[in-house]
Structure 1
Amino acid sequence: MAETQIGKFYPVKPRPKIPSKKASSTPESKFWRSFTTHQLSNLIFPITSIEFSPNPPHHIAATFSASLTLYNPQSFVPALRIAKFPDLAYSASFRPDGKLIAAGGESGVVQIFDVNLEKKMENPLRQLRGHRGAVHIVRYSKFDKLHLFSGGDDCVVRYWDVVSGSQVVSFDGHKDYVRCGAASPANSDFFATGSYDHTVKLWDSRVSTGRSVLEIVHGNPVEDVIFLPSGGLVATAGGNSVKIWDVIGGGRLVYALESHNKTVTSICVGKFGNEGVEDEQNRLLSVSLDGYMKAFDYSALKVTHTMRYPMPLLSIAVSPDCSTRAIGTSNGVIYFGKRKKKEETLDSDAGGLMGFGSIEEPEKRVLRPTNYRYFQRGQNEKASKGDYVIKKAKKLKGAKHNKLLKKFRHREALVAALNTSDPQEIVEVMYELVARRKLLKCVSNLDKDELGLLLRFLEKYSTMPTYSGFLLQLTIKVLQLRAGDVTDSDVLKKHVQNLKRSILEEIHIQQSLQEIQGIISPLLRIVAKR
């Protein structure tokens, strides 16, 4: 607790916190944290899909609302916007050469556009009609430029000839909405689709009967499916789990990852390590409605990195060189991540290699005590391993509530503390006001907005074990002093109702724990006697 003496003021200092687990500092965690985040907001509609162009500089295609937008991977500004969709747009997919892009939509039509940023042609080259519901998945084959497949809410998967715009074959095996799909990286004739009927089906475009060659039961509505780079494994996402299946082994389950708390919405493969080096490794990246992105090492079967975002995540994609990452949210925000590349330094003899002669270094001027720079030397030098460094004490910037406490402006100090986000600082200011016998007087002088701040704080932290002993007593005093104001305001009433609900929930939890303790204690005594 801070103390006051005549002629001197001691700022409020937070009490020591319980040591917390330090953030992981593994090389892989440093790699994923090295992406500088750029946020693109105000898109309003959910980001239904994100796709990178296979060709440098790897433009980013995102579908949201009734448009398909291409973003520059360096500046993240729109390079081309295609708004030729009558309703919501879904599932942007680049052709293997990156010159065309296809997308589905709520209208049930698959549209194909020319990706030429100079001509900026917005009219579709082809419109593939045949679906009787929204088309949620459109994918080109990995090697075939002339065909693509699509699936939608009519439960049908269709295989198209892009040149003629006609359907080659339709597959009717799914019993619910088809929401995801992926083309095999090993064979252009094979592709997989996932459905809300809890299954993933593998199709062969050469089979004209329309029957699947393999069926995998995921166990939840399937939100996304991808082939891993080898082509022999398939990863599926649905519910709160990501599962890996051995396709060559007949659809055998290899591993089930259940580290998310809510529905996993999208998965992709990213690379850990610098491009072109031998130790470059693949990682399975997943995003979920719980706001977490996780990197999974499927060779070691473990999660290697976790990152938190402040809103539900819907889609994720990583550029082929793993220099850029894009994550779409349900709130109309795209988080672009760009890795910083080390600047290449020129060799000392680079001038000679470029045809110029070597430049001799000028002789260093000897500094004498008569020169001002003589007394400033060494200030920018870095300490070597054996040097003893004396660091200057950093001057701490005083918090606003400390300045107000120093001027005995108690009510304003309490309000300033309540506007901060650190509960420990707020409680310490309250302790200081108790020591000065001014806390209840401050509570009595708060206006309705400031009283709302106080009640919101009590609602959030009064049941936390660290602060409950003090805050519950304060809560009783606040309600006694300001009962009239609470009765007259609907906003304050709502805070009090939430406060009451949280306290009743805490009491119920404590009673349940006491019942459990009553059951366990006799058993422990029996074990101790034996």
Structure 2
Amino acid sequence: MAEDESRISIAKTFRVKPKLRPTSNKATPTPESKFWKSFKIPKDIEFTPSKSVIYPITSIAFSPIAPHDFAATHSANISIFSGKTLEPKSTIASAFADSATSAAFRCDGKLLAAGDLTGTVHVFDAKSRTHLRRLKCHSAAARLVRYPRADDKFHLFSGGDDSVVKYWDVTTETCLFNLLGHKDYVRCGDASPVSDDMFASGSYDHKVRIWDVRVSNSGSVMELNHEKPVESVLYLPSGGLIATAGGNFVKIWDVIGGGKLLYSMESHNKTVTSLCIGKIGKESGEEAQQYRILSVSLDGYMKVFDYAKFKITHSMRFPNPLLSVGFSPDCSTRVIGTTNGTFYVGRRKTKLESDGPGDVVGLGDVEVDPERRVIRPTYFRYFHRGQNTKPSEGDYLITRPRKLKFAVHDKLLKKFRHKEALVAALSGKNTENVVAVMEELVARKKLLKCVSNLDEEELGLLLGFLQKYSTMPRYAGFLMRFTEKVVEMRADDIKSSDQLRGNIRNLKRDVEEEIRIQQSMQEIQGIISPMLRIAARR
């Protein structure tokens, strides 16, 4: 009797708590990881006009002028999206005789150029979609079209599968220079951020060539060997470094230092398809910004690379192979295009954006009513004033003890209704609580008695739980021994029920699979251990 009374007093004071068990060792997210994870995906936009045809998103280009609309090429279309709402604004379709490639905005955002697979370069008015120019000079697909980045509004350069890079005067539709040197398809390129006369092109001949139209007669001014077919070339903001992508790695080159290779990043498992520049730090326009390289690959990963420290700072997995990537100049929008026509659009919420009624408004914008400053005793707020005030250093803070909240199984354990407590925990579907209740019943020496009193439906609930979690490493030490006891005690009931026999068959299958996995891991360990010992001796 005394023992029962002591247990009642304990049950009134304490709840059943799960034991601390080993969990997966997840690294604490860094501030930069939090920044990139803040780009939420509001929706997936799919371009699948026909169920039997899927059009890849071959390029993404942001307008340099606010609100930074972006254009995407897919099939024989260019779709233009609003930088504010991310909704489609317009589509340019009738101008292309074949699939569109490589869209690019002019420095003032008023013109949009793109190539197509017929070798033609098209120039459009970005606002009205008027077809202004048609530059026909490539004998094969025009895969590269770029405007100079700074103030030049009259020229652009293009590259095609005919291995030729061309420099155009857009106003007269004249090809000023045919830049020769590549020996395979020219698929990518970028304009220098510090000079309107310099740009780079990348080819499937593994070479990246840097051109200066002021000395065009002497060929390229520099040649870089990427050693793989080049899929993307990117000038970094300083103008002295170039990033190239091809194969499953990205390389950083020092152009000012004569084309010296600074670093090779090999974190992707498949071909890297596109690069772009991203910025982190404070809001756009402030000095604390830092630049990052964003790379996407056919392995479905987007990697963020800090080229100042030569390390990967963030990685994100997407369900489809990735083909193109773009990042808005105001650091608010990230767009990724895939091979199956899907967009992954991430929008980061800035401090300047409104949230509705909860926005903080400057007092200079709102006229404050003097009557509302006085809190009278008739107001509800009068009796709650000061509750949110933080205590000072010399104050004594007395907290009211919190009332313990008992779960259903805790209340039943307090009343010594052991079987009902076990069933309630199983019905709650919280694994840790179920195991904690079982361990408490073991301490009370009542667990096996509860099992013997379970009816067929409750026994099926227990066997279903054991089948699901007995092979989980966190609980296997306790649950496997308990499972043996349950099967031994209720063998006759299990034989007479098809449902219970099914649970046992599933449990047997899972145990055999776990044994097979453990044997495979031991074999792998036996192979690796000698290698590690040899490496340690060296």
Above 0.5 in TM-score? yes
Aligned residue pair count: 486
Shift of the alpha carbon at 1:110?
1.9
* Counterpart residue type for residue 139 of structure 2: R
1:216 aligns with 2:221: no
Shift of the alpha carbon at 1:161?
2.5
Shift of the alpha carbon at 1:317?
1.9
Structure 1 residues without counterparts, runs of 5 or longer? 352-357, 400-405, 486-491
* Counterpart residue type for residue 327 of structure 1: I
CA contact (8 A) 2:103 2:115 kept: yes
CA contact (8 A) 2:58 2:324 kept: yes
Shift of the alpha carbon at 1:244?
1.2
Partner of 1:507: 519
CA contact (8 A) 1:225 1:267 kept: yes
Partner of 1:24: 29
* Counterpart residue type for residue 22 of structure 2: K
Partner of 1:60: 70
Partner of 1:165: 173
CA distance in 2, matches of 1:165, 1:504: 69
CA distance in 2, matches of 1:471, 1:186: 67
CA contact (8 A) 2:119 2:136 kept: yes
Partner of 1:354: none
CA distance in 2, matches of 1:78, 1:378: 50
Partner of 2:338: 329
1:140 to 121, 130, 147: 147
Partner of 1:81: 91
Partner of 1:488: none
1:346 aligns with 2:362: yes
1:112 to 118, 123, 126: 123
CA distance in 1, matches of 2:200, 2:403: 60
Shift of the alpha carbon at 1:454?
11
1:103 to 97, 110, 114: 114
CA distance in 1, matches of 2:535, 2:274: 47
CA distance in 2, matches of 1:216, 1:443: 71
- The 5 A counterparts of 1:437-476 are none
Partner of 1:40: 44
Deviations 1:179-236 (A, max 9, x none): 2110111222211111222221112234454832211111222221111112111111
CA distance in 2, matches of 1:43, 1:425: 47
CA distance in 1, matches of 2:213, 2:77: 30
CA distance in 2, matches of 1:185, 1:31: 26
Deviations 1:26-58 (A, max 9, x none): 3x4444344444233323433221111111211
CA distance in 1, matches of 2:437, 2:111: 62
Structure 2 residues without counterparts, runs of 5 or longer? 1-6, 49-54, 353-358, 409-417, 488-493, 500-504
2:59 to 49, 74, 90: 49
Provide the secondary structure at the position in 1 that maps to 2:239.
coil
Deviations 1:139-187 (A, max 9, x none): 1122322221222333332222222323333234223322211011122
- The 5 A counterparts of 1:39-438 are 39-44=43-48, 45-84=55-94, 85-116=96-127, 119=128, 121=129, 123-142=130-149, 143-209=151-217, 211-274=219-282, 275-303=284-312, 305-312=313-320, 313-331=322-340, 332-342=342-352, 345-347=361-363, 361-362=370-371, 365=374, 367-368=376-377, 374-378=382-386, 388=397, 390=399
Deviations 1:268-316 (A, max 9, x none): 222223333233332222233344433333233333x314233243322
Provide the secondary structure at the position in 1 that maps to 2:108.
coil
| More displaced stretch, 314-323 vs 509-518 | 509-518
Provide the secondary structure at the position in 2 that maps to 1:513.
helix
CA contact (8 A) 1:323 1:338 kept: yes
Shift of the alpha carbon at 1:499?
11
CA distance in 2, matches of 1:514, 1:340: 53
CA distance in 2, matches of 1:522, 1:323: 50
CA distance in 1, matches of 2:518, 2:180: 52
Structure number with bigger Rg: 2
CA distance in 2, matches of 1:94, 1:264: 23
CA contact (8 A) 2:201 2:209 kept: yes
Provide the secondary structure at the position in 1 that maps to 2:61.
strand
CA distance in 1, matches of 2:249, 2:535: 37
Provide the secondary structure at the position in 1 that maps to 2:370.
coil
CA distance in 2, matches of 1:324, 1:195: 29
| More displaced stretch, 324-333 vs 248-257 | 324-333
CA distance in 2, matches of 1:340, 1:310: 24
* Counterpart residue type for residue 25 of structure 2: S
CA contact (8 A) 1:226 1:234 kept: yes
CA distance in 1, matches of 2:256, 2:296: 27
CA distance in 2, matches of 1:88, 1:412: 62
Residues 337 and 364 of structure 1: is their aligned pair in 2 closer, same or farther, counting only changes over 3 Å?
Answer: closer
Residues 361 and 136 of structure 1: is their aligned pair in 2 closer, same or farther, counting only changes over 3 Å?
Answer: same
Shift of the alpha carbon at 1:83?
1.7
CA distance in 1, matches of 2:323, 2:165: 23
| Percent of matched pairs sharing the same residue | 44
CA distance in 1, matches of 2:254, 2:197: 18
Provide the secondary structure at the position in 2 that maps to 1:254.
strand
Shift of the alpha carbon at 1:261?
3.7
Partner of 1:402: none
Q: CA RMSD in A?
A: 5.1
CA distance in 1, matches of 2:56, 2:392: 53
* Counterpart residue type for residue 140 of structure 2: G
* Counterpart residue type for residue 44 of structure 2: L
CA distance in 2, matches of 1:243, 1:523: 29
CA distance in 2, matches of 1:170, 1:475: 78
Residues 346 and 191 of structure 1: is their aligned pair in 2 closer, same or farther, counting only changes over 3 Å?
Answer: same
CA contact (8 A) 2:79 2:92 kept: yes
CA contact (8 A) 1:170 1:210 kept: no
CA distance in 2, matches of 1:187, 1:211: 18
Shift of the alpha carbon at 1:328?
2.4
Shift of the alpha carbon at 1:19?
6.1
Shift of the alpha carbon at 1:129?
2.3
* Counterpart residue type for residue 318 of structure 2: P
